[in-house]
Chains A and B, each alone.
Chain A
Amino acid sequence: MTHDREWAADLVQETFLKAYQSTRSPASITYPQAWLYRIASNIALNALQRQRRFHWVPLETSNESSLEMPLSSPFLPMEDFTVSVAERDAVWQVLVELPARWRAVLLLQTVAEMSVHDIARHLQLSEANIRKILFRAKERFRILHLQKEGETRS
């Protein structure tokens, strides 16, 4: 559907995360493959639709420090109507650069809102390891954000 191996891998990851977050009990799912396929298709279709609807604004063509998003946008929660170019670029860069397992750790905490303890148990890693991974991801974002803010100002 995506014609992009890496993007497809990300969407598969999102699919399993969504399935994991589902409130449905495994016993109530008669055809698990069909259920997973439906989730994956919806996620891929939504991603393709979003890609058509939004486009990147390169830093060099924008002098504004923030992007005003339309109030009707269905994809942004209220608190995120204004997202700076620096922030958006930094988040994407961190997510793209992270090794897949680290990205999974980050998404399990940010999207699935799992505790450090639960992530450690789920991935069979120590809590100290999970904290280290999260610290590195957060610091990568903070430093990139500082750098990009500096570039935007200069």
Chain B
Amino acid sequence: MTSLNHPWLERVAAYHSGGIDEYEQHAVEQHLATCAICQNALFAYQRFYSLAASPLRFG
């Protein structure tokens, strides 16, 4: 398993997008606590959103 096909990534992305139920939120948070791939992915998603919110500012 690599960071390209990690099975939790879609759930982490949904967690990042918001609007998931509490049970799913808790499950993802528990997984995030122990998975470096997902921690890095979440950081990348956060960075992406921060930059995509203002693409012309740095272009």
Contacts and interface: CB of A to CB of B under 8 A. Distances in A.
Interface string A69-103: 10000011101100100011011101100000000
Contact of B48 (A56, A80, A115, A142): A142
Contact size range, B: 20 to 34
Contacts of B51: 80, 83, 87-88, 91
Interface in B14-59: 14, 16-19, 41, 44-45, 47-59
B13 A138 contact: yes
A145 B58 CA distance: 16
Name the residue in B16, B18, B50, B55 with the highest tally of chain A Cβ atoms < 10 Å from its Cβ.
Answer: B55
Contacts of A76: 57-58
B4 interface: yes
B9 to A, nearest CB: 7
Interface residues of A, number: 40
* Interface SS majority for chain A: helix
A69 B57 CA distance: 11
A76 B18 CA distance: 26
A110 B53 contact: yes
A115 B19 contact: yes
Interface of A: 46-47, 50, 54, 56, 69, 75-77, 79-80, 83, 87-88, 90-92, 94-95, 106-107, 109-111, 115-117, 127, 130-131, 134-135, 137-139, 141-143, 145-146
Interface of B: 3-4, 9-10, 13-14, 16-19, 41, 44-45, 47-59
Given A88-B59, A111-B53, A139-B9, 6 more contacts: A54-B58, A54-B59, A83-B51, A109-B17, A127-B19, A131-B17
21 contacts: A50-B56, A50-B59, A76-B58, A94-B48, A94-B52, A95-B52, A106-B52, A110-B49, A111-B53, A111-B54, A116-B18, A116-B19, A131-B14, A135-B10, A138-B13, A138-B48, A141-B44, A141-B45, A142-B41, A143-B4, A145-B44
